[in-house]
A and B are shown apart, each in its own frame.
Chain A
Amino acid sequence: MPRITVSVDGVTYEEEVEPRLLLVHLLRDRLGKTGTPVGCDTGNCGACTVTLDGRSAKSCSVLAVQADGSEVVTVEGLARDGRWHPMQEAFHAEHALQCGYCTPGMLMAAIDLLRDDPDPSEEAVRRGLEGNLCRCTGYTNIVRAVRRAAAEMSRAPHERMPGAAEDREAAAS
């Protein structure tokens, strides 16, 4: 069986995996990282979104072996020193979640969205999150939350995306 090395939320794991094992099942069943849920199996719902080397990826559509040598950040790795990421704060403040099942993926996708567009319009948020489905909120409060987080992060630009390239470089140096 292939042997892979993968960093998840700052912890390095060496695992022997079947080639067909999905990244999301590695996270959930092997590593106990159950914060990332599975919603659809076909890459449509986005509930399983994580960041893979800093960019959002649907972990049901990535094989664990493809993540070899990569750095994965899940929703469980967003908080820093017990402080929530501004996106987590914003989702809480704007009541952007109800059942919360889509929330981990929604948070990760929204953070990646702001990396490309730090000040997105309502329209840009809606288009940018098209690949993440929510059945509870009707999205109005999710859009508000993402824009609130964008404003917050522009006021405090030191808030970097965990797992972003600069973090790894900093860790390496």
Chain B
Amino acid sequence: MTEELDAGLVAGRIAESDQMSEPSAEREMGRARRRKEDARLVTGRTMWTDNIQLPGMLYVAFLRSPMAHARITGVNVSAARSRPGVVAAYSGRDLAGEQGSLPCAWPVTEDIVIPDHPPMAVDEVRYPGEAVACVVATDRYRAADALEAIAVDYEPLDPVLDMTEALAEGAPKVHEAGNRAFTWKFAGGDIDAAFRDAPVVIDRTYVQQRLIPTAMEPRAVVATTDGDGFTLYSATQIPHVLRVMLAMTTGIPEHKLRVVAPDVGGGFGSKLQVTAEEVLALLLARRLGRPVKWTESRSEGNLTVHHGRDQLQRIAVAADRDGRIRGVRVELLADMGAYLMLVTPGVPLLGAFMYNGIYKMDAYDFTCTGVFTTKMPTDAYRGAGRPEATFAIERAVDELAHELGIDPVEVRRRNWITREEFPYTTIAGLTYDSGDYEAATEKALAMFGYDELRAEQADRRERRDPVQLGIGVSTYTEMCGLAPSRVLGSLSYGAGGWEHAAVRLLPTGKVEVVTGTSPHGQGHETAWSQIAADALGVPFEDVSVLHGDTSVAHRGMDTYGSRSLVVGGVAVLAACEKVKERARELAAHLMEASADDVEFDGGRFRVRGTDEGRTIQELALAAFAAHDLPGGFEPRLDAEATFDPDNFSFPHGTHLCAVEVDTETGRCAIRSYVAVDDVGSVVNPLIVEGQVHGGIAQGVGQALFEEAVHDADGNLVTTTMADYLIPSAADLPEFTTGRTETPATSNPLGVKGVGEAGTIASTPAVVNAITDALRPYGVRDVRMPCTPERIWRALAEAEAAVPGQAPATGPAPAAVPGFAPVPTHGSTPGAAPPPAPASEPIRGFVAPATSESAPEGGAR
């Protein structure tokens, strides 16, 4: 077959043009490619949702409840309607007939209480900041001005702020059905046997404070209609999930609704939501027939972007005297806030299978109760359930080590699953497919200089240095790559976990990859290009990745739960393999060979044992020309694939943190931080390292700085970035990262996911370090965030409890440097641990509280 016959006139011109590419045999997997996304981001040629301007566009502003809990007895918007520039103003009652109820897609139990959740409050407000009315005007200033003219009458109701009190008899109710949303239990092994006669029991209560996710881009929504169909632009992580959920909520048929996630400035779970503002923007566009835009202010965002964490954890660990863990029992109260949003109830369950961590044990018992309060609903925030679980077990294992006078790394070593034992089915029923905790830990210890730091710590303790050194370790794993649809179904999740990709070769041999993932900072355009370039043997530069628009990427499950690469990236590979098979068939036909005799390497199909070959680009052109195709061969080289793995993936790692704590002022500074993570095979080490860095920073934020604080009336007082402190550059050290690599066996790329790892690992590493620094002073815990004030108070209270403790008693006898128990903490087999000089009373499972702490403020 001659070249002339392969190509027609147009094809011939294409073949001769400089558009035609050559194959590439360069290996992309594992290569530190600089990101394709950066060009528009460093030059300001971005398309954030708030950038969008459409002809005739109107601007929406919401009037929000100044109370945590109140009955609405009257809303009068008529004065606002006559303000300059105002096109419309509505109360919740005005929209009550059409606004529906915001969806919860994860009813975790049969008897779960899922209250009606109107996007705009109608009769009652149940959290501060809940929308009660809105104004639509010709610009954002006029819309904001007109809010002042709306009159709302509230009849205050009792706020419900404390989970334990909320569950008590006679407590004020958030909803008529009561404050208990659900109770979910899970058990493996004989937990009573594990605790019966256990020589050591560690029983602790930890507070996972409420966090505000704080993506740098505030939420924004633009809705428009041509009278038939609707387009919604939103700063969302989940355009595909959003489309189907909005169709069900608003009644707009799914095929008449296009959802676009333009450039999205971070999410961390906070944009994994179906928000009131998205629903209302669509309704307003439908009512007014004009495009509408809403962009939140940061203070609106702090109030009404779903919050994260907020759990009260009681964890008990039963162990033998050699440190072997017999069993773990967990009782959890999880603050749902006022309503159940998209996956609110499921978040603590994502942690339910992780409290056993990387450890072997005989029994495990988990109970979680979801509690309604008059606060913003909680939902997914980076790690979602798994950071909480990891914190509890890693803190408790440190306490066990201390109780037994064993080095905390050694106690972990005695319990973890060894490298020979994979695949290993844990007491929680998950099968960890691969891992090497020994390798990651050895590497981390060496990079950290563990022994040297322990020696310095011993020296400082001996010198009674007012600035003490603390060393914290955290060995974590996580279940991620949120997929297996079958498993998600067994957990009552409302959807599957597959991901989709389409790959098409264009006439010039360039490649378009269409992905159902929806990146908002993760670099999918770069990483997916690398995967496709390797699979097809085309240059990295010849691939473009399309995403984030349901009319372009028609099928997808979007981006969250460290799933994009593990599920979506693998779908890209699968689609490429299908394209390649079609190309092989075409190559065989053109070369008059059997497809079985055609080999593929570096973008060339060759007849085995000959020089005869075709490049993949030549085949793309031949398919386009379609002059000479095999019988029945459709003239295209493209394919779609959907991937649904049959197991989660399990990244793991060892993080080590050294802190210096000034025992006179409570000041705490991170001196060094080493993270060795095993995320399986790596597509782009630059992106992986960046994800780890950012994850660590967010985990450090929880440990040291961040907390959503409410006053006694239930008002959020951390509504600005001056009050809610996310770490700045000056607050953090340089992070030192390393990797070990045990490929995942659950997908052909061997990848495990990296988005959440750093956040999961770092919080306990930091708090373990602080506790370690303060142990000689009798301090056993500092509640997060470990602010200087809290550290100082913990020291003061410990001193008051046992006057003249550590500084006067001098160094503890050191069997293991720095790890012998201080005298007053001597371990007594079977006995309850000494009373904790807790820096603040914890409401809930332990002793009755006497007072709630005052909110801690302080601008940076």
Which A residues form the contact surface with B (CB < 8 A)?
Answer: 18, 20-21, 25, 28-29, 32-42, 44-45, 47, 74-76, 78-79, 84, 88, 91-93, 95, 97-104, 107, 122, 125-127, 129-143
Contact = CB atoms under 8 A, between A and B. Distances in A.
A37 to B, nearest CB: 6
B51 A34 contact: yes
Contacts of B39: 92
Contacts of A93: 34
Interface string B728-764: 1110101100000000000000000000001000000
B720 A135 contact: no
Interface stretch (B306-314, B531-539, B682-690, B784-792): B682-690
B164 interface: no
A130 B731 CA distance: 8
Given A134-B216, A143-B729, A95 B689 contact: yes
Contacts of B34: 92-93, 95
B12 interface: no
Contacts of B394: none
5 contacts: A75-B43, A88-B43, A100-B41, A100-B521, A139-B729
Given A93-B34, A98-B521, A101-B48, A135 B42 contact: no
Interface centre among A103, A130, A138 (most CB of B within 10 A): A138
Given A37-B217, A38-B218, A45-B216, A92 B42 contact: yes
Smallest CB-CB A-B distances: 6 pairs: A35-B44, A100-B41, A101-B265, A99-B521, A138-B697, A138-B693
B268 interface: yes
Contacts of A100: 37-38, 40-42, 46, 263, 265, 521
B215 interface: yes
Contacts of B721: 40, 42, 44-45, 133
B265 A42 contact: no
A56 to B, nearest CB: 15
Interface string B471-489: 0000000000000000000
A97 B42 contact: yes
A141 B693 contact: yes
Contacts of A131: 728
B130 interface: no
A95 B694 contact: no
B297 interface: yes
Contact of A79 (B38, B43, B141): B43
A21 B698 CA distance: 34
Interface string B253-281: 00000000001111010000000000000
B50 interface: yes
Contacts of B40: 100
A136 B521 contact: yes
B139 A29 contact: yes
A72 B689 CA distance: 35
B520 interface: yes
Most buried by B among A99, A104, A122: A99
B38 A92 contact: yes
Contacts of A44: 720-722, 860
A127 to B, nearest CB: 5
Contact of B264 (A33, A99, A104): A99
Nearest to B860: A130
Given A99-B216, A133-B728, 12 more contacts: A35-B45, A37-B50, A39-B298, A44-B860, A45-B298, A79-B43, A88-B43, A95-B689, A134-B216, A134-B729, A139-B727, A140-B734
A20 B266 contact: no
B508 to A, nearest CB: 25
A88 B35 CA distance: 13
Contacts of A139: 693, 697, 727-729, 732
A142 B729 contact: yes
A103 B41 contact: yes
Contact of B522 (A45, A98, A102, A126): A98
Contacts of A102: 216
A126 to B, nearest CB: 4
Given A95-B686, A104-B44, A135 B268 contact: yes
Contacts of B141: 18, 20-21, 25
B65 interface: no
Contacts of B722: 42, 44
